Structure 1
Amino acid sequence: MSDATINEGANSRPAFLPPVSADRLPLAVVAAALVAGFVALTVLVDLRQAALFLVGGLLGATLFHASFGFTGGWRRLVVERRGRGVRAQMFMIGVAAIAMIPLIAAGNLGGQALVGATAPVGVSVLVGAAIFGLGMQLGGGCGSGTLFTVGGGSSRMLVTLIFFILGALIGTAHLPWWLGQPSLPAIALGDVFGTGVAIAVTLAGLAAVAAVTVLIERRSHGALEQEPAPRREGWTWLLRGPWPLAGAGLLLALLNVATLLIAGHPWSVTFGFGLWGAKLAQAAGVPVSSWEFWTWPGPQQALTHSVLADTVSVLNFGVILGAAAAACLAGKFAPKVVVPLMSFAAAAIGGILMGYGARLSFGCNIGALFSGIASGSVHGWLWFAAAFAGSYIGVWARPLFGLDGLKRS
């Protein structure tokens, strides 16, 4: 996403206001949707869901203004040998882990039960994460990246999201079989080593990844890439961007902790996609309620209730609208209707692979990697390794669809 240009010589409007051609009508619509969503959730569900909706909005605005996605950061490391994006991701996870591991160990706070993003460590995670990594390079975004770019007006990413939902639904049909493959139980570092050691081990692992990116970058370029300075004086960059990756990572970490405290679980994305797909399939007459996955207590409850009662879905809605609001305020909301055929095909294939892979591996870059590692779960590290390997293959598969190996589609 490029910065909006400002004609400083001819424009007499104050610098902190959007240009005359700002996206006023879309902004009014998005603002109304945010207000209506908050009120509806407060009345129809409760204030907790409404608060999660606002947290999702802040997540979306942060992701948009920093263009904070895992897909581009991983691609830059592979192709350009630049690791600034990956280091920001490690920093973000580390900050969240310092707060989340002790909270999860406590089990509750103020009467709110707190559980981590833990999952079995096995073939399902290994295969699913690799599939997801491949898909995110073809689709052009990760789980969170798909949401915030859709909010920013990307028609191509809307294609990715639609097929992401389809892939997630298919994954719910197949997950019971995958869970029958070789696996270890969920392993939480806090349970094995205690809170202090779990934090230390997690931070050491994240620091090791960051150190590897430093070695790669210095070997290729001689020096590390510096964080770009804001291009506007004063505080106007808060509305127009870009936000520094490190600052955005810090804010995303704090918002994930807020999600844990409000929802009782860390930030997650892709369960909502599977639920949306199941709801649509059910409306079309598909008996998804008889599928084994949707007979399990958690999924069954989600399927029989409104999506407004699902914490993951509410967060997703907030992310989309928050990103849309940020795009409109920045004058960058610019939907493109035409999607070239090969780009459409890559988005569709990538979306299906991400949805399917995320369901097999208990989450995406957010639910499995970010929240998983920050919870002290070993499956998060396996997910990271497998997804990066799949992403590496995906980077070099992009030209087959006419996609550049570097530019975000």
Structure 2
Amino acid sequence: MKKGFAVADLDPRTILLLGGLAIGLAFGAIARWSAFCVRGAAEDLVSTPDAPRLRGYLLAAAVALLGTQALIGAGLLDVGKTLYLPALLPLGGVVLGGLAFGVGMVLTGGCGARLLVLAAGGNLRSLVSLMVLAIAAYTTLRGLLALPRQAFSGATGVDLKAFGLADQSLTGVAAKVWGVTSTSAQALVVAALVLPALAYVFRRRVAPRHLIGGALIGLLVPAGFAVTGILAADEFNPLPPESITVTGPLAQTLVYGLTYTGATMDFGIAWVLGISVGAALVAVLRGEAKLQGFEGAGNTARYLVGGVLMGVGGVLSIGCTIGQGLTGVSTLSIGSLLAITAIFAGAILALKRRQIAAALRQRLAGQAADAAIGAASRS
């Protein structure tokens, strides 16, 4: 009699790769269907009270946080060794990198995840921006800019142990300040972050797809931790748990494609490839797949500069709108909260500058038209 198939029958590496691919497929399909866009969330913040994309993003962050903290509270997940909770807080890198990333995603029309989704539907502008982002990220991570990055982050870092803290966890800060147990501190911090976010999300009615998409994408964060930290945990080759992020894996995917015979696929690469496939399938099924190119040299330059800013900024800030804004925040990391705040600040500054420039051009055009009418009337 044949036994049924079970996940336990697979080796940890296979679970890791299949899990990353499945989560990527889900993200790409959901993001394409729901128009999930963090750059759009920042634009909503400054332009519309309904802010559907902002509400979707906040719901994703709240669901991600609740799911991840539930795994931690149940004793199934230990995020203490993740890249989001070291004792050294790279304050300068987090803030400067976040600002650069925020400006960059306005210039390119989307963060790394959004560009992947758009490129899968035939947007060549997004594809070129992604390539530039990946090159700039790898140059900052492992190439010519790696040593200056490390020196800057070290020089502007803050050692939290000097303040009696073991790491960047807000739970530790709350426990120390309020003099409560770690469990109580966790509950208080989660409530302080989630309840205001949910109150804002449901204060106005928006198109259901934004909220449904945000909630489903939020669930992918604890799903990623469950795959890497629980299902694929390997006692012979222990690795820190990780979940969804874009900047680093995108750079690794580019290198993997260039050095396939000498490289190894991991969770991040599988997840990035999955995004492209999932988004492409939805674009084709909905009849949205079509090639879209650049419109002039100025437009091209804007996308290239934006790609560089996101690549360098994403590595400096140790993550992007997904890696820091969803995954990092779900671990209650101080650095992640600072990073996503800086990203939104950079995006808002860039959007405000664009609004001012557009208004100035309109005003000058109006003055020129009035002058032309006046000259015509006098002749």
**Fold in common (TM above 0.5):** yes
Output the CA distance in 2 between the equivalents of 1:47 and 1:344: 40
Q: CA deviation at 1:345?
A: 1.2
- Per-residue deviation at 1:161? 0.3
Gaps of 5+ in 1: 1-41, 215-223, 229-242, 284-302, 403-409
Question: Could you tell me which residue of structure 2 aligns to residue 200 of structure 1?
Answer: 188
1:69-111 deviations in Å (ceiling 9; x for gaps) = 10011112113344332222222211221221242466646xx
What pairs with 1:2-401 in structure 2 (closer than 5 Å)?
Answer: 46-104=14-72, 108=76, 116=82, 118-119=84-85, 120-172=89-141, 173=146, 174-184=148-158, 185=160, 186-192=167-173, 193=175, 194-208=182-196, 226-228=205-207, 244-264=209-229, 265-276=242-253, 306-308=263-265, 310-398=266-354
Percentage of identical aligned residues: 25
Contact 2:58 2:201 (C-alpha < 8 Å) held by counterparts:
no
**Separation in 1 of the partners of 2:29 and 2:195?**
27
Matches of 1:93 and 1:280 in 2, distance apart?
A: 31
Amino acid at match of 2:153: L
Alpha carbons 1:269, 1:366 under 8 Å: kept: yes
Q: How far 1:367 sits from its partner (Å)?
A: 0.7
The two structures, once aligned, show a CA RMSD in angstroms of 3.1
Using a 3 Å threshold, how does the CA distance of structure 1 residues 170 and 206 change in structure 2: closer, same or farther?
A: farther
Evaluate the alpha carbon distance shift between residue 248 and residue 157 of structure 1 in structure 2; reply closer, same or farther with a 3 A threshold: same
**Gaps spanning 5+ residues in structure 2: where?**
1-9, 161-166, 176-181, 230-241, 359-379
**Residue 115 of structure 1, CA deviation:** 5.2
Give, as a single letter, the amino acid of the residue that structure 1 aligns with 2:308: I
Tell me, in whole angstroms, the C-alpha distance in 2 between the residues paired with 1:379 and 1:56.
25
CA distance in 2, matches of 1:323, 1:98: 26
Letter in 1 for 2:303: A
Report if the CA contact (8 A) 2:104-2:308 is conserved: yes
CA distance in 2, matches of 1:141, 1:75: 11
Q: For 1:171 and 1:106, locate their aligned partners in 2 and report how far apart those are by CA, in whole Å.
A: 37
Residues 207 and 130 of structure 1: CA distance in aligned 2, closer, same or farther (over 3 Å): farther
For the residue of structure 1 that corresponds to 2:322, the secondary structure is helix
Name the SS for the 2:292 alignment partner.
coil
Corresponding pairs, count: 315
Partner SS, residue 110 of structure 2: coil
| TM-aligned CA distance change 1:258 to 1:305, over 3 Å | farther
